[in-house]
Amino acid sequence: MNWLLIGLLSIPGLLMGLLATRGYTREIELYLWIIFAVFATLVIARTAGSRFFLHGLSVGVAWGVLNGLTVTCPQQ
């Protein structure tokens, strides 16, 4: 598993969480997630070499965790 790749591709989850707390993604959040997912899929397909599913799963979990942390932590 390429952990550097997973770490770099999980940055959009943190970015979306920060933008959502500021209220910038109200109308376009769905489209931004689709763009990020397509981009991550293309990068994983080109650079992962093998274990595409595990790379995609790890990036998806990282997106969910980082997005959830950045959305819920500032509110407490």
Please tell me the distance from the alpha carbon of residue 50 to that of residue 26, in angstroms, as a whole number. Answer: 36
The pLDDT assigned to 26 comes to 86
pTM over 0.95: no
Strands (E), 1-76: none
3-62 pLDDT tens trace: 999 999 999 888 888 888 888 888 898 899 899 999 999 999 999 888 899 999 999 999
Please tell me the distance from the alpha carbon of residue 54 to that of residue 51, in angstroms, as a whole number. Answer: 5
The pLDDT assigned to 41 comes to 92
Is the predicted pLDDT of residue 74 greater than 80, yes or no? no
The pLDDT assigned to 14 comes to 87
**Tokens representing residue 31 in the block:** 């489209």
